[in-house]
Amino acid sequence: MARIPTLDRFIGMDRLAVWHRRNGQYVVSLLVAHTLLSVWGYALIGHSSLLSEARRVVLDYPDMLMATVALVLLVLVAFSSVQVARKHLRYETWHFIHLYSYLAIALSFSHQLASGDDFVGHPLNRVLWSGLYAMTVGVFLAYRVGLPVRDAVRHRLRIDRIVRETEDVVSVYVTGRRMNELRADAGQFVRWRFLTRTGWWQAHPFSLSQAPNGKWLRMTVKRRGDHTSYVHGLHPGVRVMAEGPYGAFTRHRRVRRKVLLIAGGIGIAPVRALFEALPGRSGDLTLLYRSSGEHEIVFSRELDELAEERDAAVHYILGPRSQQPDPLGRAHLLELVPDLRQHEVFVCGPSGMTLHAVASLEAAGVPRRHIHTEGFAY
């Protein structure tokens, strides 16, 4: 998760995040197994109880106490990242817990060199292992710290204005110097850090809701938690740091002439930017916008104007999630887009809606390689 641009461009930050989470859970599971099996083995050899052997290993082995604390912290981080736990945690809480993984890595490092059979008495292995850690830390600092600080000095970003779209949705316009050099693309997201007394320490991802124009970048934020409510209370002139842009949910994924865009809820933000930026002739672009009601529709005027300018189609699919017949089912999709199988499809919205839409698209005959998604899960 160093956010290396090359990996992001070819894989996508949302997919990397999923890989990162799964890898972390596998590694922590192996670390727990390593600890329990090692102590059990020592107890069998020494003909002692498991509890007394665990006490001896933790207290007497070099740097083992620090390693034990590190393991507890990593288990806590892994548990907070399990899907069931994440559903009950605010993003801010999850992020704060996740920061303890850095402390855990630092605490466990010396134990590896002091007790690891591959390192004790093997100087070259110690140098190589330490070099891998140094390289990882270097890449992390370069892309997570160095580049954002450089861009903050170069672009001097600040909030230009805030526009209320609906009762709980606002658009924030960010301007600055040499905006073209940010090389943002429609469909991407940026991790925004607002430099206020209470907000400077945390960065949150918000998608661009308008195609970059060299004058400003626009994000659109729905009130869902502490940080999004905080964004609603910002004012023009606040300085901003931007990490990114990130994401492979862009026009570069397109290989077919016709394109179908499907958005749900605030997922309309990156889809609206794509609807503006994707090149296309008359009839090439179709947008399906799923919402529970008219009061939750964002950008209706902009979407209608873009559709008229580009001779594209916009369909607003309104109603509760339990609505029947299924508005995102195979039959309804084919009714709205009869030549659906010939389309490149971009889907963005809540995870449940996205999974359902993808399943319907595949059932309608759209190959999975022509379906591109952007997820908001963390």
Q: Nearest-CA neighbor of 210 among 227, 190, 196?
A: 190
Q: Is the pTM of this model over 0.85?
A: no
Domain boundaries, given as residue ranges, for the chain: 5-115, 155-246, 254-374
What pLDDT does residue 116 have?
84
Fold match flag (155-246 vs 254-374): no
pLDDT in tens, 256-282: 999 999 999 999 999 999 999 999 999
pLDDT in tens, 117-126: 899 889 999 9
**Strand, coil or helix: 87:** coil
What pLDDT does residue 376 have?
63
What pLDDT does residue 241 have?
94
Q: Which CATH architecture has domain 254-374?
A: 3-Layer(aba) Sandwich (3.40)
What distance in Å separates the CA atoms of residue 293 and residue 319, rounded to the nearest whole number?
6
Q: How high does pLDDT run on average in the chain?
A: 92
CATH 1.10.3720.10 fits 155-246, yes or no: no
DSSP one-letter code for 181: G
- Name the amino acid, one letter, at 307: A
Average pLDDT over residues 28-54: 94
Q: What is the enclosing helix (H) or strand (E) of 258?
A: strand 258-264
- Could you tell me the pLDDT band of residue 140, with boundaries at 50, 70 and 90? very high
What pLDDT does residue 92 have?
75
- Could you tell me the pLDDT band of residue 14, with boundaries at 50, 70 and 90? confident
Q: Nearest-CA neighbor of 1 among 100, 132, 140, 96?
A: 140
- Could you tell me the pLDDT band of residue 377, with boundaries at 50, 70 and 90? low
